[in-house]
Amino acid sequence: MAYYRRGSSADAMARGMGWFSLGFGAAELVAGRGIARWLGMEQHTGLIRAYGVREITAGVGLLAMGDPKPWMWARVAGDVLDIATLATGLNDDNPRRRNVELALGAVAVATALDVLGSGMLHREEEEALTPPHDYSDRSGLPRAPDAMRGSAKDAPIPDELRTPKILQFHPIGMG
Amino acid sequence: MRALVWHGTADIRCDTVPDPGLEHPRDAIVKVTSCAICGSDLHLYDHFMPGMEKGDIMGHEFMGEVVEVGSEAKSALKVGERVVVPFTIWCGDCDQCKRGNYSVCERSNRNKATADKLFGHTTAGLFGYTHLTGGYAGGQAEYVRVPFADRTHVKIPSGLSDEQVLFLGDIFPTGWQAAAQCDIQPTDTVAVWGCGPVGQMTIRSALLLGAKQVIAIDRVPERLSMAKAGGAVTINFAEESVVERLNELTDGKGPEKCIDAVGMEAHATATLDSLYDRAKQALMLESDRAHVLREMIYVCRPAGTLSVPGVYGGLIDKFPFGMSMNKGLTWRMGQTNVNRWTDDLLNRIQEGQIDPSFVITHTVGLDQGPEMYKTFRDKQDGCIKVVLKP
Ligand SMILES: NC(=O)c1ccc[n+]([C@@H]2O[C@H](COP(=O)([O-])OP(=O)(O)OC[C@H]3O[C@@H](n4cnc5c(N)ncnc54)[C@H](O)[C@@H]3O)[C@@H](O)[C@H]2O)c1
Ligand SMILES: [Zn+2]
Ligand SMILES: [Zn+2]
């Protein structure tokens, strides 16, 4: 079974990307035409809406479908698709070329986060699946701890490090 | 000679440097046979402690053979003797030394003026630990100059291995002092934050000093398993609520004694205060992360004692001091007065009451030191304590 742990920092990152996917996907779906226009790529309105559906799917996957690793990789694949699509808008006769460059920059940042997050999730799995070193025999004591309890009660501890009798918890005279 | 040299954040190299020589009649030169990497060294490695300079030699937990003795140290030390060198350098003559407070010796810090400004009054000189405490070359090297050598040493009888006695120079007395200054009573629960080498020594010390219950807190599984071997009940702070568990284990009253064996690089699992600390530390508005201190103040039983062997370097923020004052807590802290405890502890090792070598997980040559810093810091490969053989 795949390992993942809710609440770890890798998981927090995956959830963050999940919420981002949901939000951005919704925007692509609802405002597909506006985005396309802004990019000077109106012919791709349909494609952008489809990408919105893809983002929402990844978002739901990341937030609600257990192991986030496959969904993180799905996001990475989606990022590559986004980059390829945006690259077609980089030609000189696109008056909105500057916006396409901005969008590419943003996608690059998202890609970096996705790759980083996937890496973190895999490392976490690796660590969790290697059994910890067993140091249960390293007591440093000649007998069982319970048998050693208090065997240094006679230690020379200077008075100034002692709690004044009147401030001690136990009844005076004990111990 | 070869030595581990600080070059900057996470940059320690095994360099060839000039051999040390006697600079003062009370000096001695020790040929190092074993030395260790301490959690305190990690604060330098990560550069959370100010006052390091490029070229400084690291290391303050070391032992070896005396190879040269200055004229004024000759009455106390002879060439050929085997010694552990305590990390706190002490003169033996000042008012503080006379009271046994060696870690605040008034004379051994040769950069006293700077320390006076920074701390109000100087503390002792330390090996390999920034220019605020003297800028003395450290012991992760083939040879070390030991200032005030007539006092600053522990003679080791034959028949004990390096591994058994090396930690007398730092972590064993540190864990011991952390527990001793809690004045442990047979009815006490002692909670220890941090199961690194210092935490491990603290756990054993609290047990030997008679604590009814020792509770150890960390999140590294193998460190928790070693804590358990020493008789502690363990709490994994990544998986359970520390405060809830501590209350559960003490009938809702909290531990009488709380010990911070973590220090300024405390981790926390996404609590509000930890995010706040990390942000502030990154912006250099705060030098230390105080999560453990806050947790101790909160959970400690009123009228209890907080003992802080963990090292802090500067300023902390959002500190619930009102809580501490109103609960009437006692604070005990400081660098360890190493030589104050070593005679007694050496005896206990000789008698077989404890063998501190249990904590060693890695032994390598000096040249592998730099990579071991990383292994130790990142707790890779089950690493708990590294011993280097120059
Ligand atoms: N007072 C002295 O004279 C003296 C001497 C030696 C070391 N020290 C200090 O003692 C501290 C510990 O040293 P070490 O060698 O054991 O180092 P270490 O770094 O190996 O151990 C610290 C441990 O604390 C754990 N930890 C981190 N956050 C925690 C949290 N919130 N709750 C519980 N545990 C947490 C870590 O997982 C780690 O196992 C350091 O600050 C070091 O500088 C002080
Ligand atoms: Zn140390
Ligand atoms: Zn002194």
Ligand 1, atom 26: closest residue by C-alpha: B194
Give pLDDT, residue B314: 82
Give pLDDT, residue B277: 65
The atom of ligand 1 lying closest to the CA of B43 is 43
For the segment B143-156, the average pLDDT, to the nearest whole number, is 98
Separation between Cα atoms, residue A45 and residue A64, nearest integer Å: 29
A118 is a domain residue = yes
Note whether A123 and B344 are within 8 A (CB): no
A116 is a domain residue = yes
Give pLDDT, residue A131: 78
The two tokens of residue A119 are: 């890496």
| Predicted confidence (pLDDT) at residue A46 exceeds the cutoff of 70 | yes
* SS3 category, B43: helix
The tally of domains found in chain A comes to 1
Which residues does chain A have within 8 Å of residue B269's beta carbon, measured at their own beta carbons? Answer: 7
- A139-175: b (≥16 Cβ within 10 Å) or e: bbbeeebeebbbbbeebebeeeeebeeeebbeeeeeb
* Topology of the domain comprising B2-170+336-389: Quinone Oxidoreductase; Chain A, domain 1 (3.90.180)
For the segment B47-56, the average pLDDT, to the nearest whole number, is 93
Higher pLDDT among residues A90 and B38, named by residue: B38
Q: Average pLDDT, whole number, for chain B?
A: 94
* SS3 category, B143: strand
Q: Which ranges in chain B belong to alpha helices (H)?
A: 39-45, 95-98, 112-119, 162-165, 171-180, 197-208, 221-229, 242-248, 272-282, 291-299, 321-327, 338-351, 369-377
| Predicted confidence (pLDDT) at residue B208 exceeds the cutoff of 90 | yes
For chain B, give every residue range classified as CATH 3.90.180.10.
2-170+336-389
Higher pLDDT among residues B66 and A98, named by residue: B66
pLDDT in tens, B156-198: 999 999 999 999 999 999 999 999 999 999 999 999 999 999 9
Separation between Cα atoms, residue A61 and residue B282, nearest integer Å: 33
Which residues does chain A have within 8 Å of residue B221's beta carbon, measured at their own beta carbons? Answer: 132
For the segment B271-292, the average pLDDT, to the nearest whole number, is 68
pLDDT class of B287 with cuts at 50, 70, 90: low
- Which numeric CATH code is attached to B174-333? 3.40.50.720
φ/ψ bin of B234: left (φ > 0), alpha (ψ from -120 to 50), beta (otherwise):
beta
pTM of the model: 0.82
Task: Please count the other Cβ atoms lying within 10 Å of the Cβ belonging to residue A112.
Answer: 11
pLDDT in tens, A131-144: 778 999 999 999 99
The DSSP secondary-structure symbol of B196 reads: S
**What is the CB-side half-sphere exposure of residue B147 using CA atoms within 13 A?**
22
Give pLDDT, residue B286: 60
Give pLDDT, residue A12: 84
Closest CA to B175 of B156, B161, B155, B195: B195
pLDDT class of B201 with cuts at 50, 70, 90: very high
Length of chain B: 390
> Which of A134, A139, A160 is most worth mutating to test chain B (most B CB atoms within 10 A of its CB)?
A139
For the segment B27-53, the average pLDDT, to the nearest whole number, is 95
pLDDT class of B236 with cuts at 50, 70, 90: very high
Note whether A113 and A13 are within 8 A (CB): yes
Give pLDDT, residue B323: 96
| Predicted confidence (pLDDT) at residue B280 exceeds the cutoff of 60 | yes
A153 is a domain residue = no
Nearest by CB to A162, which of B183, B229, B303?
B183
Nearest by CB to B209, which of A140, A145, A155?
A155
pLDDT in tens, B372-383: 999 999 999 999
Give pLDDT, residue B299: 97
A4 is a domain residue = no
| Predicted confidence (pLDDT) at residue A175 exceeds the cutoff of 50 | no
Helix axes A45-64, A69-87, angle to 10 degrees: 160
Give pLDDT, residue B100: 95
Separation between Cα atoms, residue A160 and residue B343, nearest integer Å: 19
A33 is a domain residue = yes
**What is the CB-side half-sphere exposure of residue B352 using CA atoms within 13 A?**
3
CA of B16 to the centre of ligand 1 (A): 30
Share of chain A above pLDDT 70, in %: 94
Is the predicted ipTM greater than 0.90, yes or no? no
For chain B, give every residue range classified as CATH 3.40.50.720.
174-333
A17 is a domain residue = yes
Could A157 and B180 be called an inter-chain contact, meaning their C-beta atoms sit closer than 8 Å? Answer: yes
For the segment B108-114, the average pLDDT, to the nearest whole number, is 95
Separation between Cα atoms, residue B153 and residue B171, nearest integer Å: 15
User: Which protein residues touch ligand 1 with a CB less than 6 Å away?
Assistant: B 38-40, 42-43, 170-171, 174, 193-199, 217-220, 223, 237, 261-263, 266-268, 291-292, 309-311, 335-336
Q: Average pLDDT, whole number, for chain A?
A: 88
Task: List the single range of A4-8, B312-316, B375-379 with lowest mean pLDDT.
Answer: A4-8
A26 is a domain residue = yes
Q: Is B186 exposed, middle or buried (0-12, 13-18, 19+ CB in 10 A)?
A: middle
Segments forming the whole domain that contains residue A32:
9-128
Element holding A29 (H helix, E strand): helix A9-30
Q: In one letter, which amino acid is B178?
A: A
Strands B386-389 and B189-193: unpaired
* SS3 category, A4: coil
pLDDT class of B12 with cuts at 50, 70, 90: very high
Could B230 and A150 be called an inter-chain contact, meaning their C-beta atoms sit closer than 8 Å? Answer: no
Q: How many CB pairs under 8 A join A and B?
A: 124
pLDDT class of B275 with cuts at 50, 70, 90: low
A90 is a domain residue = yes
Residues 6+ apart with CB under 8 A from B136: B89, B110, B125, B126, B127, B128, B129, B145, B147
